[in-house]
Amino acid sequence: MVSSISTFSEDIPTLVKDGKGGIRVNPDKGAQKFFWLRAVGPNNVFPFVLPSLQSNILNLIVPAEENLRGDFEICNLHSTSTGRFTAELLQATVNRNLQNAPVCNNLLFGNINLPNEMMESLYVQPTTTVQIRITDLSGVPNTIAIVGMGRRFLDWGNERIGEMRRRAFYSQRTHTYWLTPNTGPVVPLGAGASATILYTVPSAADFEMKYILDDSDGAYTVQFFEGLSSRSLMDAAISARDFVAGPTFAVGGFPSGGLVRASGMPGRICDWSHLLKRSAQFMAVVTDTSGAPNNIRLCFGGRLVYYDAPKGEYLTVPEEKQNAGSRRASPLLGYGNPGWGR
């Protein structure tokens, strides 16, 4: 599976041209390292045993190297557990929620074979924290391990770090986000019963929907509507088991069939996304066809898009020209590689 996550900067190239037009290995390539970061519980416990039906907070704390180097870009979230749980992500340093309500683990995390697909990566500076509030759904003690995987940026000078952070700063017009039901992550549904599930977009930003995620217990039909206009996005209700939703994944991997999966193999809305305006409502009308009590776990992955431009330091043309002597035309962050001699 090839990830479609959008990263805040392109990969650092391995080969570049030197000042004489020759090809050489890019020394800046050594400044980009892949990295796994554990989400640790109280007293740095990993994995963490969560008592039955209890909640606690795990922390992804980005370690710092010399001179606060080591900015971390989280590209995938992985987890293993002995039972179901919900998780709620908060980028604590900037107080940014990454979902409107808790999300079931199968819809939020993938595994090393099938990583979850966030719409875009999450950029975190050293010593800062991403909090993950977890709540057990299994009813028994639950052993939970969560890992963020991505890349770290290390360098011998401050200019590179400043450049990376400016690019990441501009990326804050958007950030990855999961939209889950207003009433909570699980919607109980009696045998043969119907329900209308509402999802409300935050008032501060639009929601760009890319993935439909499902981990329900049994078969059901579903029809999607844009809530405020009541515009149907399907001509009639269709069988989720056959056309929309993939069932729960097992320890051995994900099942085949279906257009929508748990997070490790999400169902894309073709090759495009669907934009919901700020404060808009999205509606799913579901009807059980399993003949038994059913728990519907249906949410959507994408990103929030803000209208207001970020405020703070801007990369200006004079600054770019001023530092041009230590940069090269190819190709870090669009305009140069610091640290080279001519």
d(CA 88, CA 90): 7
Q: What architecture is the 15-173 domain classified under in CATH?
A: Sandwich (2.60)
Inter-residue contact 178 to 299 (CB < 8 Å): yes
What does each C-alpha distance from 97 to 33, 93, 163 come to in angstroms? 27, 11, 26
- Stretch(es) of the chain classified as CATH 2.60.120: 15-173, 187-305
The encoded tokens of residue 166 equal 């400016």
Per-residue pLDDT of the chain (342 residues; tens, 9 = 90+): 345 678 877 788 888 887 787 898 887 788 888 999 999 999 999 999 999 999 999 999 999 887 778 889 999 898 989 988 999 999 987 888 999 999 998 888 887 667 787 888 998 989 989 999 999 999 999 999 999 999 998 875 566 667 777 777 766 788 899 999 999 999 999 999 999 999 999 998 999 999 888 888 888 999 999 987 889 999 999 888 666 544 444 433 334 333 334 555 555 666 788 999 999 999 999 999 989 999 999 999 999 998 865 554 444 333 344 333 333 433 333 333 333 332
What does each C-alpha distance from 211 to 16, 95, 259, 267, 299 come to in angstroms? 36, 25, 10, 5, 9
d(CA 65, CA 69): 5
Report whether CATH 1.10.10 matches the domain 187-305. Answer: no
